[in-house]
């Protein structure tokens, strides 16, 4: 099959597009003929190499995908060949205490499609049957592939970790990325008052179209100062920070006393400085969040399928142009999800 894979870790030069053997699904797994897949920052981390994760090479990238069931492993009765599906990228054991509690993203063996096992950037992918969800006809293939990772992450981040309530205010740094865009849409769906930041006027304009209440260019103004002015010195109830080193100080200074910061990533680096005196004096809570549990995934899926939230798609590339697509993601030029299509259709 045609696939996008790496043979070692490094920069753009390690990404190859070529033929790999089609594998057979094991017990409890399904093989999906991929129609569309979507990029995540995760693909860039995997390309570079994640400490502690040893991959067998060649390794197929990609966490998000949608397509049709192509083969069933032993014991799979929940699907028939040809069923249209989209994939939930979080892999869990289903047996540990956290899985038993319905908190799959806390699973002691938690992993991700494309990170710990071969991913979706190919003509076929193999996933546990519990990770496949029937796709209604009303949901476009590109959308079905684009939303799972970013939107489930943003949903848990805002609603469960962040505890966002309708009357509250939220600051989202770096609008444009998949999770930040999803967070904006979810926050507006909930009824919150939303501040977003970017260095790009085009991205700020797009955020306004999507309902952002206040847009702030961080190259033109100090964000905590702007937030203080807009909120009569109060600060926002919740800050969504998946930028990391570059924004962490602004997050601590922009949140109100007793407010919350929720983080699910650190695209500019992990080693931000946290002034502990600001944390206790302001009585700030910092919440880490990753991916989502199944109930949360199903909740956000329902909103996407129902049309309440329409995932933002930046651009679609053919599978063989994945290296170009990955560089677009690395450059931060995108607004929303970057999608790959294999050319296969129902």
- In the complex, the residues that contact Zn ion under the rule CB under 5 A are 92-93, 96, 99, 107
| Residue closer to Zn ion (CB basis): 91 or 158 | 91
Smallest distance from Zn ion to CB 49, Å: 25
Smallest distance, Zn ion to C-beta of residue 127, A: 16
Distance in angstroms (rounded) separating the CA atoms of residues 159 and 181: 15
Least distance between Zn ion and beta carbon 33 (Å): 28
**Among 137, 153, 132, 162, CA closest to 297:** 153
Q: Which of 153, 155, 152, 135 is nearest to 144 (CA)?
A: 135
92 forms beta bridges with none
**Cβ distance to Zn ion smaller for residue 247 or 293:** 293
> Which CB sits closer to Zn ion, 20 or 106?
106
Q: How far apart are CA 195 and CA 215, in angstroms?
A: 6
DSSP secondary structure letters along 105-159: GG-TT-EEBTTTB--SSBSEEEEEGGGEEEPPTTS-HHHHHHSHHHHHHHHIIII
Least distance from C-beta 2 to Zn ion, angstroms? 33
Cβ of residue 60: shortest distance to Zn ion, in angstroms?
A: 24
Exposure class string for 227-262: b at 16+ Cβ within 10 A, else e:
beebbeeebbbbbbbbbbebbbbbbbbbbbeebbbb
In angstroms, what is the minimal distance from the CB of 27 to Zn ion?
Answer: 17
Contact 30, 69 (CB under 8 A): yes
Per the DSSP assignment, residues forming a β-bridge with 84 are 68
C-alpha 264/C-alpha 287 separation (Å) is 9
What is the Cα 81 distance to its own chain's centre?
A: 28
- Comparison of 96 and 117: residue with beta carbon closer to Zn ion: 96
Task: Return the number of the residue (104 or 253) whose C-beta is nearest Zn ion.
Answer: 104
Asked whether the CA dihedral 296, 300, 305, 306 is positive or negative, the reply is positive
Residue among 16 and 96 whose Cβ is closer to Zn ion: 96
Least separation in angstroms between CB 30 and Zn ion:
20
- 47 or 294: CB nearest Zn ion: 294
Count other C-beta atoms under 10 Å from residue 310's C-beta: 12
């Amino acid at each position: 099959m045609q696939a996008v894979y790496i043979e070692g870790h490094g920069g753009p030069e390690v990404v190859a597009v070529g033929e790999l053997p089609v594998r057979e699904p094991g017990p409890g797994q399904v093989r999906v003929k991929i129609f569309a897949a979507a990029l995540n920052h995760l693909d860039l981390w995997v390309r570079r190499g994640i400490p502690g994760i040893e991959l067998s090479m060649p390794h197929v990238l990609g966490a998000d995908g949608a397509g049709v069931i192509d083969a069933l492993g032993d014991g799979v009765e929940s699907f028939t060949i040809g069923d249209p599906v989209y994939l939930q990228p979080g892999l869990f054991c289903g047996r540990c205490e956290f899985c038993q509690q319905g908190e799959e993203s806390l699973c002691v063996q938690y992993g991700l499609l494309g990170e710990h096992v071969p991913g979706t950037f190919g003509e076929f992918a193999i996933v546990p049957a519990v990770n496949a969800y029937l796709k209604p006809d009303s949901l476009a293939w590109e959308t079905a592939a684009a939303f799972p990772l970013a939107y489930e992450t943003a949903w848990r981040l805002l609603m469960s970790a962040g505890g966002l309530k309708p009357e509250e205010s939220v600051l989202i740094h770096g609008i444009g990325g998949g999770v930040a865009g999803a967070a904006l849409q979810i926050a507006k769906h909930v009824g919150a008052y939303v501040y977003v930041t970017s260095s790009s006027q085009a991205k700020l304009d797009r955020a306004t179209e999507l309902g952002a209440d206040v847009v702030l260019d961080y190259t033109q103004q100090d964000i905590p100062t702007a937030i203080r002015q807009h909120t009569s010195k109060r600060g926002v109830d919740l800050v969504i920070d998946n930028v990391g080193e570059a924004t962490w100080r602004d997050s601590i200074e922009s949140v109100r006393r007793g407010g919350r910061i929720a983080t699910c990533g650190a695209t500019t680096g992990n080693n931000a400085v946290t002034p502990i005196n600001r944390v206790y004096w302001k009585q700030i809570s910092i919440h880490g969040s990753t991916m989502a549990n199944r109930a949360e995934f199903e909740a956000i899926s329902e909103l996407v399928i129902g049309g309440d939230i329409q995932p933002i798609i930046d651009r679609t590339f053919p599978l063989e142009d994945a290296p170009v697509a990955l560089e677009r993601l690395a450059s931060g030029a995108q607004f929303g999800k970057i999608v790959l299509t294999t050319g296969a259709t129902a």
